[in-house]
Structure 1
Amino acid sequence: MNYMEQLNDKQLNELERQHNILSYGVNGIIPDQEFKQKIAKSIKNNKPLKVKLGLDPTAPDIHIGHTVVLNKLKQFQELGHTVQLIIGDFTGKIGDPTGKATARVALTDEEVRYNAQTYFEQFGKIIDMDAVELHYNAKWLSKIDFVEVLQLASNVTVARMLERNDFHNRYKANKPIYLHEFFYPVMQGYDSLMLESDIELGGTDQEFNVLFGRQIQEQFGKEKQVVMLLPLLEGLDGVEKMSKSKKNYIGIDEKPNDIFGKTMSIRDELIGKYFELASNLSIKEVAEIKSQLANETLHPRDAKIRLAFSFVEMLCDTATAEESKKYFLTVFQKNQMPDEIPEVLWEKEVTIGILDLIADLNLLPSKSEARRMIKNGGIRLNQEKVEDPNFKVEIKDNLVLQVGKRKFIRLKIVG
């Protein structure tokens, strides 16, 4: 049935409005014509779409990269649609093989529950968790008998599974692929069947998995979901996808000043993408900023200040964002020390190598990184640059060590 043909002019305008908002910043909608039909059906029947996001809580913290999909879910919510959040307490026992050269380590029930709870708290900074449908997929996946498993598996070929880049690469490299890993996308598709999802969101690296929902729904004679693929956000290095394991992330639960400071270090060429995908600014505001950057009427530094402000405002509040902006302008642009600096107690006055001091205070991951930081002028003692990695520091009361742009430590002599 063509629902678009049944809409009046006002409803057609609403269809166009929703489609424009929801397709903004999206890499692909598969298929887009079906997506328009689903919106039209929702408008015609005054019934919200069911929008699915599946999560395996593999770690307790999330970062700005996750806000790409969260902001899209927020748009769906604001348009009156229903978000289905699925916690993979069953699929997490296998682990998503996407992008992995080896099988994932399975999570325990306790790890899933703990990580999931932290997700809820952090997601609540972006979306309305009170309006979310929350599901745990063990509720249905743990009850499937082996006959049903075989029925699901009978519609999936090994050749299809080996089309996945990660499986294909492991197969060509003669690395093991375990049979249970093949079931991950099948189970993810089964989630869509059980919840009768209309839309499923996923990153571009999740295309293989999320398309399985369409296949499983069709297999059981149900209306197929539409897949919405969202771009991946590069991290602070400007190259790799934002990830805690790559240490190129801005954490949602980090201190506001750290969120602001880290945002100021992103690559200039990524400013527009960060605004478009991760900020809380309107489509019109983002378009203006991108235009000003393109015609060079807005300096990248000023744009990043606006971006950093929007992140802190979105994750905290406007007053905190103002304080973080003031802190950044005072400490970094005017090269002053902050009013409040964490203190570390030091037992006695002593002379110690700068590399050993940084290592003892656990301010950088390694001495080699500390050497690079010194070479780049990023280490200061009482605001004076340290230029020699062999420099001997004479520890005295109230000595302030600065590492990079955001880390300050004041040493207090005791005893």
Structure 2
Amino acid sequence: MQTTSDALDILCRGCEKVLSPDDLRAKLGENRPLRVKLGVDPTAPDIHLGHSISLSKLREFQDLGHEAILIIGDFTAMIGDPSGRSVTRPQLTHEQVLSNAKSYQEQAFKILSRERSKIVFNGEWFEAMSFDEVIKLNSRVTLQQMLVREDFRDRLDRGQPIRAHEIQYPIMQGWDSVKIRADVELGGTDQLFNIMVGRDLQREEGMPQQVAMVMPILEGLDGKQKMSKSLGNYVALNESAHDMFGKIMSISDELMVRYYQILLKETLPADAHPMEAKKALAQRVAARFHTAEEAQAARTDFETRFSKKDLDHADLPAYTPGEARDFLSLVVEAYAKCFGIAKSRSDARRLLEGGSVQWKGEKIGDVKAVLAGGEAGVLRLDKTRAVRIG
């Protein structure tokens, strides 16, 4: 049995902010299963490593005997969460959202215990609301409150539009907390405003306010923006161990330090060899979502391809060039078609000029170089990716 103090230490570990630890301690001291909420909007079919951070925290609550409530935002997803967005999200149909939701649930159970999870669709209550009830709910929040949000304020300052439906999002997320009587809500740091709206609405309903527990945002593979499928800088949970390993090996040494902190909750030793540390990180992450054997096989294949310079015998993605034959265009196309990574021509130019791009083992430094028609061989894009042409 965990003491309240032990449980508090476990649950607060790795959080960016908890509002407040004293409130969480008091709730844990009630000696009952807490109702712990995590909302996800199935705006795309994949869950990635960035999502895994809050899901892993929810699993910790499960392991301590608490009730995990995963809210599938089938209605909120049609709006699209404006948190951290500089432009309005494209709207989805309900059918698209429900299709994505099936995939989301299966991937979430790579982390959560299926038996100890409760899945709730927020369409259960929003679909039943009359327009009169929507108006009454909106009357509880002021426009000034909404415009305190940094992302909304930034868009106003830049003269970019904020659509009226986007202002509904925090209200709807907050009402979810009222409907399920959440004791705790989890989310990324960009969700803090929305979670606090939930606390306000719970107070107005005369119920105890939920504890806000926000997790750090995981940067994507580019190390610049948060991990996002739309930005092409993600590692999906349903990718093969081979692809997971290869993608993680592509991150910078600086970003690797942060991945150790956020994904493994460890501090990378200062004297660690960067390449060996990165291989260990990639292998451990791949093993978490696959098997130890698959993760080891991915590492062995990577070492065959890159550490041993034996690309000719490695299992590489096949790539058939389009009409463009210049290496600059080939690099951009190969990243997109074989790895789902968006690279600009400027990115490709830097790779070429830096000596990263190789054709049949020879560096291609000339940005105007062209692939001869009918040639077959291995095109190395960078230190962790290569494709087979022909």
Matches within 5 A, 1:314-333: 314-333=288-307
- Unaligned runs of 5+ residues in structure 2 are none
Amino acid at match of 2:29: A
Change (3 A) 1:357 1:20: closer
Pick from 115, 121, 125: which aligns with 1:130? 115
Q: Which position in structure 2 is the counterpart of 1:305?
A: 279
Residue-pair matches, total? 384
Asked if structure 2 preserves the Cα contact closer than 8 Å seen for 1:99 and 1:166, the reply is yes
Change (3 A) 1:402 1:188: same
Matched, 1:405 2:374: no
Asked if structure 2 preserves the Cα contact closer than 8 Å seen for 1:261 and 1:405, the reply is no
Q: CA deviation at 1:141?
A: 1.2
Matched, 1:15 2:4: yes
Asked if structure 2 preserves the Cα contact closer than 8 Å seen for 1:351 and 1:395, the reply is no
SS in 2 for 1:129: coil
Q: CA deviation at 1:355?
A: 3.6
Q: Which position in structure 1 is the counterpart of 2:79?
A: 94
Q: CA deviation at 1:89?
A: 1.1
Q: CA deviation at 1:406?
A: 4.0
Cα deviations by residue, 1:229-288 (Å, 9 ceiling, x for unpaired): 111112222232122233322222233222112212323333343223223xxx6xx2xx
Q: 2-side partners of 1:183 and 1:310: how far apart?
A: 40
Q: 2-side partners of 1:365 and 1:238: how far apart?
A: 14
Q: CA deviation at 1:386?
A: 1.7
Cα deviations by residue, 1:371-415 (Å, 9 ceiling, x for unpaired): 322112222222222222233433556522222234433344xxx
Matches within 5 A, 1:251-266: 251-266=236-251
Matched, 1:29 2:18: yes
Q: CA deviation at 1:145?
A: 2.6
SS in 2 for 1:125: coil
Matched, 1:375 2:333: no
Q: CA deviation at 1:207?
A: 0.7
Q: CA deviation at 1:344?
A: 5.2
Amino acid at match of 1:324: A
Q: 1-side partners of 2:321 and 2:24: how far apart?
A: 63
Asked if structure 1 preserves the Cα contact closer than 8 Å seen for 2:186 and 2:215, the reply is yes
Cα deviations by residue, 1:289-333 (Å, 9 ceiling, x for unpaired): 53xx23x2x223222111111111011110011111112222222
Q: Which position in structure 2 is the counterpart of 1:386?
A: 364
Q: CA deviation at 1:352?
A: 4.9
Q: Which position in structure 1 is the counterpart of 2:316?
A: 341
SS in 2 for 1:241: coil
Question: Which protein shows a greater Rg?
Answer: 1
SS in 2 for 1:235: coil
Q: CA deviation at 1:126?
A: 1.7
Q: CA deviation at 1:169?
A: 2.4
Asked if structure 2 preserves the Cα contact closer than 8 Å seen for 1:84 and 1:132, the reply is yes
Q: 2-side partners of 1:352 and 1:215: how far apart?
A: 59
Amino acid at match of 2:295: A
Cα deviations by residue, 1:75-123 (Å, 9 ceiling, x for unpaired): 1111111111111111222221212233332210111011111111221
Q: 1-side partners of 2:330 and 2:136: how far apart?
A: 62
* Deviates further, 112-121 or 245-254: 245-254
Change (3 A) 1:328 1:164: same
Pick from 175, 184, 188: which aligns with 1:199? 184
Q: CA deviation at 1:67?
A: 1.3
Q: CA deviation at 1:142?
A: 1.7
Asked if structure 1 preserves the Cα contact closer than 8 Å seen for 2:35 and 2:67, the reply is yes
Change (3 A) 1:360 1:100: closer
Matched, 1:210 2:192: no
Amino acid at match of 1:219: E
Q: Which position in structure 2 is the counterpart of 1:222?
A: 207
Asked if structure 1 preserves the Cα contact closer than 8 Å seen for 2:69 and 2:119, the reply is yes
Q: Which position in structure 2 is the counterpart of 1:62?
A: 47
SS in 2 for 1:169: helix
Matches within 5 A, 1:224-303: 224-279=209-264, 286=266, 289-290=267-268, 293-294=269-270, 296=271, 298-303=272-277
Change (3 A) 1:106 1:39: same
Q: 1-side partners of 2:46 and 2:3: how far apart?
A: 37
Q: CA deviation at 1:351?
A: 12
Q: 1-side partners of 2:168 and 2:137: how far apart?
A: 9
Asked if structure 2 preserves the Cα contact closer than 8 Å seen for 1:120 and 1:129, the reply is no
Change (3 A) 1:390 1:378: same
Q: 1-side partners of 2:214 and 2:333: how far apart?
A: 45
Change (3 A) 1:239 1:369: closer
Q: CA deviation at 1:180?
A: 2.9
* Deviates further, 253-262 or 133-142: 253-262
Q: CA deviation at 1:171?
A: 3.1
Amino acid at match of 2:149: R
Asked if structure 1 preserves the Cα contact closer than 8 Å seen for 2:241 and 2:287, the reply is no
Q: 2-side partners of 1:356 and 1:171: how far apart?
A: 38
- Unaligned runs of 5+ residues in structure 1 are 1-10
